[in-house]
Amino acid sequence: MRSNHGATRVPPSRTRFDLGLGYPQWQGSGRHENLPRGAAAAAAVVGRYAPLVHVPSGGEGTEAAYGVRCWDAIFKQFHGARDILARSGARRVLTAGGDCAVDVAVIAYLNGLHPGLRVIWIDAHPDANTPETSPSGNFHGMPVGAILGRGPGPMRPLLGAPVDPRRFHYFGIQVGDEGDRALQRELGLQPLDLQSPIDGPVHIHFDLDVLDSREFPFVAYPDGKLGLDDAIGLVRRIAREADLVGFTVTEFAPADDDEARVGSEVIARLCDAAVDP
């Protein structure tokens, strides 16, 4: 049975992760219309691979504060996720979003558990704005800033030690703005070097808009160029070489149930690569 406080049971042979987190947050996106449908479909997939718990909805929360639109709804869901993670005792977390900021709490949690956590951000967008630099106030453009110590004021002390910028790597970036580039320059953020070994505890953030829109059009921001087979191969390589302790899939925006079904098959292929490399 699924609830905010219970979890689905998963056959042991399909379990690499201790916890599946269904995180429906859409309030951080500037194009949120189809995200709730996508988040529900993605969570249903994740529930096949890990015991699934749902983060409670934060409501509409349309008012801006601390430089972030819909701040109350975002902060309520952040607190809900933190509570679930703290109670779970999980050491490996599989997350289904929602907008691109759904793994801020997850990464902070894993960073506290796994010294030297490496974060690989597979995305068409850098997501490295801060509340001070964001041109829109949409929080899905700020999660990298948040996990690197530049989050909104009330959230910052709850995130613990920032991720080490030397252990943060991008892959698949296509577009960005000056705020994104400013943080990249300041912290010296580097792309993933495919010629080097990928080791240590790793969290993968996988924004589906990194994919070539000719292969995966079910996103709100179709800027990606990464082929699906290449993406699956990269996830499989990371899971095989490193200690994959976190995997998040975000920004699934199907327009109808048929698109949700087709896109869910792709999410399942990504999860297969993460679970059984």
Residue 165 has pLDDT above 60, yes or no: yes
The answer as to whether 11 is a domain residue is no
Please give the model's pTM, rounded to 2 decimal places. Answer: 0.93
Query: Structural domain of residue 103, as residue ranges?
Result: 17-275
Which of 150, 153, 209 minimizes the C-alpha distance to 179?
Answer: 150
The burial class, CB within 10 Å (0-12 / 13-18 / 19+), for 18 is: middle
**184-234 pLDDT, tens per residue?**
999 999 999 999 999 999 999 999 999 999 999 999 999 999 999 999 999
Amino acid in position 211: L
Contact 240, 277 (CB under 8 A): yes
Order the strands of the 118-122 sheet from edge to edge: 52-54, 19-23, 93-97, 243-250, 201-207, 118-122, 168-171, 190-191
Mean pLDDT calculated for residue range 72-94: 97
Contact (Cβ atoms closer than 8 angstroms) between residue 209 and residue 220: yes
Residue 257: pLDDT over 80: yes
pLDDT recorded at residue 15: 54
pLDDT of residue 7: 52
Number of domains in the chain: 1
Interatomic CA distance for residues 82 and 79, integer angstroms: 5
Is the pLDDT confidence value at 104 over 90? yes
Q: Is position 10 within any domain?
A: no
- Per-chain mean pLDDT for the chain: 93
- The whole-number pLDDT of residue 59 equals 79
Residue 80 pLDDT more than 60? yes
Query: pLDDT confidence of 1, banded at 50, 70, 90?
Result: very low
pLDDT in tens, 46-65: 999 999 999 998 877 778 99
With 50 as the cut, is the pLDDT of residue 5 above it? no
Residue 6 lies in a domain: no
Read off the CATH number of the domain in which 66 is found. 3.40.800.10
Give the tokens for residue 166: 């030397």
Q: Tell me whether residue 7 is in a domain.
A: no
- Does residue 24 lie in a domain region? yes
Question: Average pLDDT for residues 230-245, to the nearest whole number?
Answer: 97
Q: Is residue 245 part of a domain?
A: yes
As a whole number of angstroms, the distance between CA 20 and CA 175 comes to 30
- Mean pLDDT score, 32-41: 96
Residues 129-162: tens digit of each pLDDT: 999 999 999 999 999 999 999 999 999 999 999 9
Answer whether residue 229 is part of any domain: yes
- Is 4 a member of any domain? no
Percent of the chain scoring above 70 in pLDDT = 95
